[in-house]
C-alpha cells in the first residue's frame, strides 16, 4: 500500500526527488540555477519555507516547512513540473525527468532538525564527490556557515538559536558541522532520516499520528529504534537509501 501524504500546518519535511532511472540530468550550472529559480517561484506562490537543500547531478534533497498552510504537494508539483518542462525545452527532449513522486519524511523539528540539515548538506561529501560541504556550490551549507550562497534560504528557528548574531550562528554552525563529520557518523550512506515516514522521538511520532494520520496505513506501521540515542522512525515498506 502506498503511503498517503501526511501534511499539516507547522510541519517540517525532508524531501527527496530523483531523476528518472537515476540518470545524471543536472549537467551544468545553468541546470542547477534553473531548478533553484523554479524553487523560488514555487515558494513565492505557495508560501512554503525552504530551510535547506542539496542539489546533486541525479537527485535533490530539500528541507521544507509549511508554517501557514498544507501546500507542500502543490509546491513540489509546481517546482518539479515547471522545471521539467523548461529543461526538456532547453535540450529538445521529451519524456519524464523525475522518477515518479517525491519521498517525504516528517522531521521532529525540536530535537532532530539539525541532524537532518547536516545530513542533507553532507550529501556530496558522503558520496565522495567533495572533501567538504563548503566545496559544493548547490547546497545551503554556505548560507548557514558563511551567510552567503547561490540561493536565499529561510532560516529555521533551531538555526537562529545558535547565536544572537549572524556571525555567532555561522561560527557555531561550522563547529557543529565539523563535529558531525568526525563523530556523528553522518558520512555513512544509509541513515534513518532518508527512509522513514516520520523521524524523531517516540512521543513525537505518536503525537503526529494521533493528531494528523487518521489512516490505517500509519496505524499499522511499527516504530524502529535507530542507532542514535532515543531516535525512532516510522518506516515505509521499502527503504529509500538516498
When pLDDT is averaged across residues 75-97 and rounded to a whole number, the result is 94
DSSP 93-123: --S-SB-SSPEEEEE-HHHHHHHHHHHHHTH
- The set of cell numbers assigned to 21 is 532511472
With bands split at pLDDT 50, 70 and 90, how would you rate the model's confidence at 241? very low
Q: What is the pLDDT of residue 198?
A: 77
Q: What is the pLDDT of residue 238?
A: 42
Q: What is the pLDDT of residue 30?
A: 96
Q: What is the pLDDT of residue 239?
A: 41
Q: What is the pLDDT of residue 236?
A: 58
pLDDT of residue 54 exceeding 70: yes
pLDDT over 70, % of the chain: 80
> Between 196 and 132, whose confidence is greater?
132
When pLDDT is averaged across residues 18-38 and rounded to a whole number, the result is 92
With bands split at pLDDT 50, 70 and 90, how would you rate the model's confidence at 38? very high
Partner residues linked to 64 by β-bridges: 13, 50
pLDDT over 90, % of the chain: 57
Those residues whose C-beta lies under 8 Å from the C-beta of residue 92, and which sit 6 or more positions away, are none
User: 29-46 and 72-91 are packed helices; what angle lies between their axes, rounded to 10 degrees?
Assistant: 150
Q: Are 170 and 155 in contact (CB under 8 A)?
A: no
- The set of cell numbers assigned to 56 is 546533486
Q: What is the pLDDT of residue 223?
A: 64
Q: Cα(151)–Cα(142) distance, rounded to whole angstroms?
A: 10
pLDDT of residue 200 exceeding 70: yes
Q: Cα(158)–Cα(168) distance, rounded to whole angstroms?
A: 14
With bands split at pLDDT 50, 70 and 90, how would you rate the model's confidence at 108? confident
What rounded mean pLDDT belongs to the chain?
85
Longest dimension (CA), the chain: 50
Amino acid at each position: 500500500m502506498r503511503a498517503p501524504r501526511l501534511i499539516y500546518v507547522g510541519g517540517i519535511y525532508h524531501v527527496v526527488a530523483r531523476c528518472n532511472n537515476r540518470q545524471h540530468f543536472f549537467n551544468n550550472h545553468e541546470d542547477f540555477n534553473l531548478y533553484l529559480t523554479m524553487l523560488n517561484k514555487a515558494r513565492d506562490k505557495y508560501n512554503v519555507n525552504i530551510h535547506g537543500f542539496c542539489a546533486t547531478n541525479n537527485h535533490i534533497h530539500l528541507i521544507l516547512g509549511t508554517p501557514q498552510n498544507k501546500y507542500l504537494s502543490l509546491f513540489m508539483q509546481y517546482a518539479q513540473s515547471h522545471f521539467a518542462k523548461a529543461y526538456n525545452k532547453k535540450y529538445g527532449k521529451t519524456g519524464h525527468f523525475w522518477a515518479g513522486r517525491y519521498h517525504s519524511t516528517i522531521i521532529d523539528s525540536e530535537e532532530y532538525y539539525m541532524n537532518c540539515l547536516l545530513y542533507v548538506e553532507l550529501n556530496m561529501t558522503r558520496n565522495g564527490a567533495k572533501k567538504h560541504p563548503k566545496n559544493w556550490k548547490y547546497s545551503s551549507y554556505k548560507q548557514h556557515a558563511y551567510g552567503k550562497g547561490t540561493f536565499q534560504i529561510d532560516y529555521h528557528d533551531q538555526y537562529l538559536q545558535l547565536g544572537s548574531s549572524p556571525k555567532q550562528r555561522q561560527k557555531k554552525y561550522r563547529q557543529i558541522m565539523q563535529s558531525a563529520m568526525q563523530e556523528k557518523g553522518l558520512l555513512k550512506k544509509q541513515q534513518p532520516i532518508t527512509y522513514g515516514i516520520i523521524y524523531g522521538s517516540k512521543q513525537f511520532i505518536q503525537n503526529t499520528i494521533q493528531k494528523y494520520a487518521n489512516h490505517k496505513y500509519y496505524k499499522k506501521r511499527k516504530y524502529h529504534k535507530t542507532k542514535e540515542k532515543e531516535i525512532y522512525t516510522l518506516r515505509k515498506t521499502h527503504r529509500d537509501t538516498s
